[in-house]
């Protein structure tokens, strides 16, 4: 990759970080896609100026990605990264026409989000015995928070004690793009959080008092720790393929829609920017109705 390309990428990433206030994870994804694209251009065509990059050049890179076995979802994400990058360049006056205008995204097979069945979440939260030590209390609260609020993994790890309003039984969550949303919680969860904070103070004198959840060392959680916690306990109650924190987010949304929750309300609780992202959960509801129909109707 040439120096000119590197300069444009850095300018774009600064825009995402300081103006759009995207998360570090999202910025890294953009950076990875753009570096891969411009490395390809440099090897195949030498150092091109932005104005020299046309649609056929972009398509040649996408064709190579497909030949290497990348699926439609991955390719579409890279197309999205390029579209956002060249749109920024267009606004900055660095190009007159975006090369992405005629680039068509490949069709994806729509898959319904997996979720944990209600009977299995009942088993998890009613009958599962958690170790009576600090790690056990932390693991239990992690699972309760994911299921009761539908928050993302990064949101849970960054959750501060100051974001909990015990009087109003709600949590202020800082989501993507630093957007805030308020999630109401049950009296049961409020009590669990109160008890956890007190247990943390008593058990670990040097515990971080800024963040709600910490490890037995008193330090903030990290992604692998949270993932392993969720996978461990979900493996004991369900046989679904994926057992990640995001599955509990799907479970939260699916259980709400299955019980008649308004889709706009679910959208706000999840922190989605558009209703289109939330509508996928209605498909699970429809599939459930189909199943009921097939089992109950004599002509089904």
Mind telling me the catalytic residues?
A: 152, 176, 246, 249, 272, 281
Buried b (16+ CB within 10 A) or exposed e, 71-90: eeeebbebbebbbbbbebbe
- DSSP-based three-state secondary structure for 220: strand
Q: Using an 8 Å Cβ cutoff, are 42 and 6 in contact?
A: no
Give which of 16, 19, 45, 47 is closest to 33, Cα–Cα.
Answer: 16
With residue 184 as reference, give the H or E element that holds it: strand 180-184
- DSSP-based three-state secondary structure for 216: coil
Residue 254 CA: distances (Å) to CA of 134, 278, 279, 280:
31, 10, 10, 9
Question: DSSP secondary structure string, 71-114?
Answer: -HHHHHHHHHHHHHHHHHHHHTTS-SS-TTTTPPPPP----PPP
Rounded distance between C-alpha atoms, residue 211 and residue 160, angstroms: 4
Query: 172 has which bridge partners?
Result: 182
């Amino acid at each position: 990759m040439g120096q000119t390309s590197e300069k444009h990428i850095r300018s774009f990433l600064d825009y995402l970080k300081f103006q759009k206030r995207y998360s570090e994870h999202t910025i890294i994804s953009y950076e990875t896609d753009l570096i891969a694209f411009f490395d390809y251009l440099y090897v195949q065509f030498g150092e091109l100026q932005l104005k020299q990059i046309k649609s056929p050049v972009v398509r040649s890179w996408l064709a190579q990605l497909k030949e290497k076995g990348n699926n439609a979802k991955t390719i579409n994400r890279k197309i999205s990264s390029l579209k956002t990058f060249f749109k920024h360049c267009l606004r900055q006056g660095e190009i007159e026409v975006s090369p992405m205008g005629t680039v068509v995204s490949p069709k994806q097979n729509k898959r319904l989000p997996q979720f944990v069945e209600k009977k299995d979440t009942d088993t998890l939260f009613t009958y599962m015995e958690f170790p009576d030590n600090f790690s056990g209390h932390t693991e239990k609260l992690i699972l309760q928070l994911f299921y009761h609020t539908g928050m993302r993994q990064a949101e849970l790890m960054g959750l501060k004690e100051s974001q909990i309003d015990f009087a109003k039984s709600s949590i202020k969550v800082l989501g993507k793009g630093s957007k805030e949303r308020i999630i109401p919680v049950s009296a049961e969860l409020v009590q669990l959080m109160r008890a956890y904070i007190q247990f943390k103070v008593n058990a670990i004198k040097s515990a971080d008092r800024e963040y709600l959840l910490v490890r037995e060392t008193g330090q903030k959680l990290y992604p692998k720790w949270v993932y392993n916690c969720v996978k461990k306990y979900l493996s004991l109650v369900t046989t679904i393929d994926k057992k990640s924190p995001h599955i509990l987010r799907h479970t939260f949304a699916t259980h709400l829609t299955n019980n008649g929750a308004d889709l706009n309300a679910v959208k706000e609780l999840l922190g989605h920017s558009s209703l289109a992202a939330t509508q996928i959960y209605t498909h699970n509801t429809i599939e459930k109705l189909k199943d009921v129909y097939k089992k109950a109707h004599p002509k089904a």
